[in-house]
Amino acid sequence: MPPDPYPSGTDAPSTDFRFIAHYNFPPFFTLQPNPLTRSSQLETWSTHILSYCRHHRIFTLTLIDALSTPLFHNTILKKKLSLNDARTVLNWMASKEGGERIEWIGGKGGKESKCWVFWRRPEEWADAVGSWVEATGQKGVVFTLYELGQGEATRSQEFYGIDRELLHRSLQILVKKGKAQIFGQEDQLGIKFF
Amino acid sequence: MASSRRGVGLSAFSNAAINNAYTNHGSTLRAAHVESLQTQLSVFQQLLHQFSITHGKGIRSNPTFRAEFARMCNAIGVDPLASSHTSKEGGKGTGSNMWAQVLGGNVNDFYFEVAVRVVQLCRETRAENGGMIEVAEIRRRIQKGKSIGGGMEVSDDDIGRAVKSLEPLGSGFTVMNLGKKQMIRSIPKELNTDQSTVLEAIQVLGFVTVSMLLDNLNWEQARAMAVMDDLVADSLVWVDLQCDETEYWSPTFIHDSDQR
């Protein structure tokens, strides 16, 4: 068993997700008027969203749909983040300041409705796949993308079950670095590692 | 008459002699007293020194023991934290250095370590809580110990002492009482009476509304609004707009669900 380059820590998918303390604090769901307080609030929201998505292995969010999920809606407190506030949070996460952990998909001018959630950035996924290939001595081996994302061999890896498009995008980073080559057609992409 | 005159003279003379004798005796006694006190003191110092060496580990690792040790030192007027910085403490002057020597660096170091953690935590959370954090919360976080060295066993008492050890730095860290809670204030800004009153009231339910202030404190609307605006501006409270009336919450109520 190769060492996991990104140990998933305590967030094993089988256990219940443990919300951060702020999730039980009613004003957390109202963006704060004080800029200082708000900046710390945005950071906390970012942490919360990333750990939630990581736990539930969510790779993309559709804003409207997500608003009614526990991510943004605390049913016990009967508090939820409004559409506008949620957009503000996601926009902040998409910014340099927020670590570019969100990337809007399509749409422009504040109308974006769907986004990537990078609890690992594509570069980090690329590293994870690269290290796995190296650690298991499979350089020179050809994989299909399906094998990498859904295959038996990678079941123990964090990238098992990764969104296909995200995987493709991450692997292209390895290609650019000259560490791999992608070939084949749309549905049957293969990759060879050097 | 003559005898009485002589008597006066004599008695005056002998009185002086007696007085002299008394003075002499007094000063001898005083000297002996001082000497014995000095001996006692040096014996005591040695014992205290020995004690702190023998039990240094215990003092560092066991919060109850440490608190007792600190209390004992306090009772006899020794400030275990006193160093060259705090020479004004109890007018010990050069003695303060001596105490630091006597007690060894261990005890000092421990409190300074705690103080460093306290400063770190206060800074980390300042944006969230406006520089006011519950002592108990700090203790929980220090015990969890995410940082270097892992968790430390500390008591609220230790934290209070650690904060006190920061005083000579003029850092503005103070421990204050707010209702039943002990808070560490890390921003040297005075709260006015109205602000303190509100912050104290908040500790009951976790939040207040303007109408609660009007009803319970007999304030006028404008006064209550002004205080709340100030507290928001100082990041000391968070607002919740998803209610019938705006609720102002204290960030000290950000707790894990099981503690709520």
The answer on A32 and A92 residing in a single domain is yes
Query: For residues A47 and A60, what is the distance between their CA atoms, to the nearest angstrom?
Result: 16
A5 within domain boundaries? no
Beta strands A73-74; A79-80: pairing state: antiparallel
Question: What is the C-alpha to C-alpha distance for residues A116 and A122, in angstroms, rounded to an integer?
Answer: 11
| Distance, CA of B232 to CA of B239 (rounded, Å) | 8
Lowest mean pLDDT: which of A92-106, B34-48, B52-66, B153-167?
B52-66
Please indicate whether, in this complex, the C-beta atoms of A26 and B232 are within 8 angstroms of each other: no
Mean pLDDT calculated for residue range B88-99: 41
Show which of A78, A102, A117 is a domain's final residue. Answer: A117
Instruction: With a cut of 80, say whether residue A48 has pLDDT above it.
Output: yes
Q: Tally DSSP H helices, then E strands, for chain A.
A: 6, 8
* Per-residue pLDDT reduced to its tens digit, B179-198: 888 899 888 778 889 999 99
Average of per-residue pLDDT across A143-152: 84
Domain boundary among B133, B158, B189: B189
Are B110 and B229 part of one and the same domain? no
In this complex, which of B241, B242, B254 lies closest to A25 when CB atoms are compared?
Answer: B254
Partner-chain residue, chosen from B128, B207, B257, that has the shortest CB–CB distance to A37? B128
What's the average model confidence in pLDDT over A148-170?
A: 87
- Please indicate, yes or no, if residue B18 is contained in any of the structural domains: no
Say if residues A86 and A80 touch (Cβ distance below 8 Å): no
Same domain, B102 and B92: yes
Region B45-58: mean pLDDT is: 74
CATH code, domain with A148: 1.10.10.10
Which three-class secondary structure state does DSSP give residue A117? strand
Domain boundary pick from A100, A117, A134 = A117
Q: Is residue A87 part of a domain?
A: yes
Question: B127–A33: do the CB atoms touch at under 8 Å?
Answer: no
Dist CA A85 CA B249 (whole Å): 19
The Cα–Cα gap between A104 and A95 comes to: 11
- Residue B138 belongs to some domain of the structure: yes
Q: Domain span at residue B132?
A: 55-189
Q: Pick from A24, A44, A78: which is nearest to B255 by CB?
A: A24
Residues in chain B whose Cβ is within 8 Å of chain A: 127-128, 130, 207, 232-233, 235, 238-243, 247, 249, 251, 253-257, 260
Verify that A32 and A111 share a domain, yes or no. yes
From the list A21, A27, A80, which residue is nearest B239 (CB)?
A27
In-domain check, residue A16: no
Per-residue pLDDT, B8: 60
Average pLDDT over residues A128-145: 86
Angle at B135 between CA A77 and CA B75, to 5 degrees: 155
Instruction: Pick the residue of B122, B137, B238 with the most A CBs within 10 A to test the interface with A by mutation.
Output: B238
Question: Which tokens sit at A79?
Answer: 């508090």
The answer to the question of residue B37 being in a domain is no
Across A28-32, A106-110, B2-6, B205-209, least confident range: B2-6
Residue B4: per-residue pLDDT: 46
Same domain (yes/no): B233, B143:
no
ipTM at complex level:
0.79
B162 and B83 in one domain? yes
| B183 and B68 share one domain | yes
Which of A31-35, B70-74, B139-143, B182-186 is least confident?
Answer: B70-74
- The pair phi, psi for residue A102, each rounded to 5°, is -125, 140
Q: A27 and B249: CB-CB below 8 Å? A: yes
- A126-135, B89-98, B173-182: least confidently modelled range: B89-98
Q: Does B42 fall in a domain?
A: no
Buried b or exposed e, range A101-131, using 16+ CB within 10 angstroms = bbbbeeeeeeebeebbbbbbbbebbbbbbbb
**A177 in the same domain as A95:** no
Q: Which of B142, B174, B189 is the last residue of a domain?
A: B189
Instruction: Give pLDDT, residue A88.
Output: 93
Same domain, A77 and A162: no
Are A176 and A88 within one domain?
no
Select from B189, B216, B245 the last residue of a domain. Answer: B189
- Compute the distance between CA of residue B204 and CA of residue B201 in angstroms, rounded to an integer: 6
Same-domain pairing of B200 and B256: yes
Does position A45 have pLDDT exceeding 90, yes or no? yes
Same domain, A112 and A126: no
Q: How far is the C-alpha of B71 from the C-alpha of B79, rounded, in Å? A: 9
> How many Å apart are CA A138 and CA B249, to the nearest integer?
56
Judge whether A51 lies within some domain: yes
Residue A96 has pLDDT above 90, yes or no: yes
Residue with the bigger pLDDT between B90 and A59: it is A59
Cα distance between residue A28 and residue A45, in whole Å: 8
- Can you give the pLDDT at residue A102? 92
pLDDT value of residue A143? 86
Clarify whether residues B62 and B182 are in a common domain. yes
In a domain? residue A7: no
Is it the case that residue A13 has pLDDT exceeding 50?
A: no
CA distance A169 to A186: 13
A15, part of any domain:
no
Look at residue A170 and tell me if it is in a domain: yes
The rounded percent of chain B whose pLDDT value lies above 70 is: 76
The predicted structure's pLDDT at residue B3: 47
CA–CA distance, A6 with B180 (Å, rounded to integer): 44
In a domain, B24, yes or no: no
Same domain flag for A128 and A75: no
Q: What's the CATH code of the domain at A29?
A: 1.10.10.570
Boundary residue ending a domain (A117, A135, A153) = A117
On whether both B179 and B200 belong to a single domain, the answer is no
Rounded Cα–Cα distance for residues B252 and B198 (Å): 14
B99, B216: one domain: no
pLDDT, mean of residues A80-84: 93
Residue B238: its chain A contacts at CB < 8 A?
25, 27-28, 30, 32, 37, 41
Residue A78 domain-assigned (yes or no)? yes
Q: Residue A50 belongs to what domain range?
A: 21-117
Question: How many structural domains does chain A have?
Answer: 2
Q: Which residue of B has its CA nearest to A77?
A: B242
Same-domain pairing of A32 and A47: yes
Q: How many domains does chain B have?
A: 2
Distance in Å, alpha carbon of A45 to nearest chain B alpha carbon: 12
B36 found inside a domain: no
Q: Can you tell me the distance from the alpha carbon of B70 to that of B83, in angstroms, rounded to the nearest whole number?
A: 15
Residues 6+ apart with CB under 8 A from B51: none
Average the pLDDT over B204-232 and give the result.
92
- The enclosing H or E element of B123 equals helix B95-129
Supply the CATH number for residue B220's domain: 1.10.10.10
Q: Are residues A30 and A111 in the same domain?
A: yes
Contact A56, A17 (CB under 8 A): yes
Q: Please state which of the ranges A45-49, A65-69, A129-133 shows the lowest mean pLDDT.
A: A129-133
What's the CA gap between A83 and A111, in Å, rounded?
A: 12
pLDDT of residue B100: 52
A38 to chain B, minimum CA–CA distance in Å? 8
pLDDT of residue B107: 67
What is residue B55's predicted lDDT score, i.e. its pLDDT? 77
Q: What's the confidence (pLDDT) of residue A12?
A: 40
In a domain, B60, yes or no: yes
Whether residue A36 is found in the same domain as residue A82: yes
Query: Mean pLDDT lowest for which of A97-106, A116-125, B110-119?
Result: B110-119
Q: Report yes or no on B225 lying in a domain.
A: yes
Do residue B166 and residue B237 come from a single domain? no
Greatest mean pLDDT among A55-64, B75-84, B181-190: A55-64
B84 & B170 share domain: yes
Contact criterion met (CB below 8 Å) for A125 and A162: yes
Clarify whether residues B145 and B85 are in a common domain.
yes
Q: What's the whole-number mean pLDDT along residues A43-59?
A: 94
pLDDT at A154: 84
Nearest neighbour of B256 by CB, restricted to A21, A26, A41: A21
Q: Please report, in angstroms and rounded to a whole number, the separation of the first and last CA atoms in chain B.
A: 96
